[in-house]
């Protein structure tokens, strides 16, 4: 290894990178903390905020008041999600799913491994550190809320099994439903005092789990459309590869319908206030994204639908939050 002060780079003669033209020496620039942060795709990490907000806002609507635990739940959700992203980046790179040509903000991987900015060893270390941090917070919650071990185990299983097993076998979309519904449920539980939380574990909670879980699964599904060729080449049998783009688009529509039906039923049964129906305005985005996915053309034309589906989650969560606040204010 030699250090070149003029270019401020490190040349590692032992590290070879496999490219289209074979093996070549890798020239590494110093990796900054910003590179490490961006390598785990923070634009998706913060989608966990949506699932957290849905759970916490409904909990406070029903009388919860544990602000500290609510914040700690958000921190745990973000770190857990970062762990998933780090593992996903690592395994997709090792399997050859990700390429520079098909990398975007929403699909094709973060690009930090395929571009050689970060090594697989470094990404593995990032995943381990993040997992340990998230488990430490989880231990605190399990000690104070034994019931939270149920969503905790489900969430941990999704983290460890998603990329190496569930995603390649076509269960990634289901894993998203279970994993992020668990995030919502865990956030909901710990927002209450641990002495009376069991009084609030009622059947109406299923509605917020359906909203969060199916939204996150729909985000994953629409992001898989541009990766169809790469995923098929390495035999990653996600729903787009398994069913084809048009049938996958129909499944995407069904997932969105479940979200809005959950909101409507929650209002009909008087679990949600009538103000929550404003969230149905998101149907415009959902239908537009379905049509563009069903008539998929190319990556360039699909970038906006992918972004809109992510933003839909923020719209839904804040719509529900404000509806709960309005109902409290005018009640």
Question: Which residue ranges make up each domain of the chain?
Answer: 1-30, 31-330
How much is the pLDDT for 12? 37
How much is the pLDDT for 1? 39
Query: For residue 155, which of 228, 81, 238 has the smallest C-alpha distance?
Result: 81
Q: Quick check: 186 pLDDT over 80? A: yes
162 contact partners, CB below 8 Å, separation of at least 6: 84, 87, 88, 172, 175, 179
Q: How far apart are CA 261 and CA 238, in angstroms?
A: 25
How much is the pLDDT for 97? 63
Burial class of 67 by CB neighbour count within 10 A (0 to 12, 13 to 18, 19+): exposed
pTM, to two decimals: 0.84
* 186 and 50 Cβ atoms separated by less than 8 Å: no
Average pLDDT of the chain to the nearest whole number: 86
β-strand 22-29 against 2-4: which pairing, if any? unpaired
CA distances (Å), 230 to each of 107, 173, 292, in order?
11, 18, 20
pLDDT band, residue 106 (cuts 50/70/90): low
Give the three-class secondary structure for 17. strand
At 312-329, the pLDDT tens digits run 999 999 999 999 999 988
Mark out the alpha helices in 18-66 (DSSP H runs): 33-39, 42-45, 47-61
At 249-271, the pLDDT tens digits run 999 999 999 999 999 999 999 99
Q: Quick check: 23 pLDDT over 60? A: no
pLDDT band, residue 117 (cuts 50/70/90): confident
Give the three-class secondary structure for 4. strand
Angle between helices 299-330 and 205-223 (to 10 degrees): 160
Mark out the alpha helices in 145-244 (DSSP H runs): 149-161, 172-190, 205-223, 228-233, 239-243
Question: Rounded to the nearest 5°, which phi and psi values hold at 13?
Answer: -75, -15
* 190 and 152 Cβ atoms separated by less than 8 Å: no
């Amino acid at each position: 290894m030699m250090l070149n002060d003029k270019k401020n780079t490190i040349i590692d003669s032992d590290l070879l990178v496999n490219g289209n033209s074979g093996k070549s020496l890798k020239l590494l620039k110093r990796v900054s903390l910003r590179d490490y942060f961006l390598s785990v795709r923070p634009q998706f990490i913060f989608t966990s905020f949506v699932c957290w907000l849905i759970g916490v806002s409904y909990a406070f609507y029903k009388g919860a008041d544990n602000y500290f635990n609510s914040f700690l739940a958000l921190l745990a959700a973000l770190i857990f999600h970062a762990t998933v992203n780090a593992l996903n980046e690592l395994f997709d790179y090792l399997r050859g799913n990700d390429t520079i040509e098909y990398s975007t903000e929403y699909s094709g991987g973060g690009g930090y491994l395929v571009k050689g900015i970060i090594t697989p060893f470094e990404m593995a270390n990032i995943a381990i550190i993040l997992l340990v941090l998230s488990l430490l917070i989880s231990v605190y919650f399990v000690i104070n809320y034994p019931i939270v071990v149920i969503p905790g185990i489900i969430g941990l299983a999704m983290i460890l099994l998603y990329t190496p097993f569930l995603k390649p076998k076509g269960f990634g979309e289901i894993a998203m439903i279970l994993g992020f519904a668990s995030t919502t449920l865990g956030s909901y539980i710990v927002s209450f005092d641990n002495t009376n939380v069991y009084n609030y574990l009622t059947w109406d909670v299923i509605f917020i789990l359906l909203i969060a879980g199916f939204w996150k699964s729909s985000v994953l599904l629409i992001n898989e459309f541009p990766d169809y060729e790469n995923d098929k080449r390495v035999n990653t049998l996600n729903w787009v590869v398994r069913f084809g783009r048009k049938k996958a688009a129909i499944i995407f529509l069904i997932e969105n319908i479940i979200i809005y039906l959950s909101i409507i039923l929650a209002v009909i049964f008087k679990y949600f206030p009538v103000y929550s129906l404003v969230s149905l305005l998101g149907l415009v985005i959902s239908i537009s994204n379905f049509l563009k996915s069903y008539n998929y053309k190319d990556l360039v034309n699909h970038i906006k639908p992918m972004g809109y589906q992510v933003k839909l989650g923020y719209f839904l969560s804040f719509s529900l939050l404000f509806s709960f606040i309005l109902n409290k204010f005018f009640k």
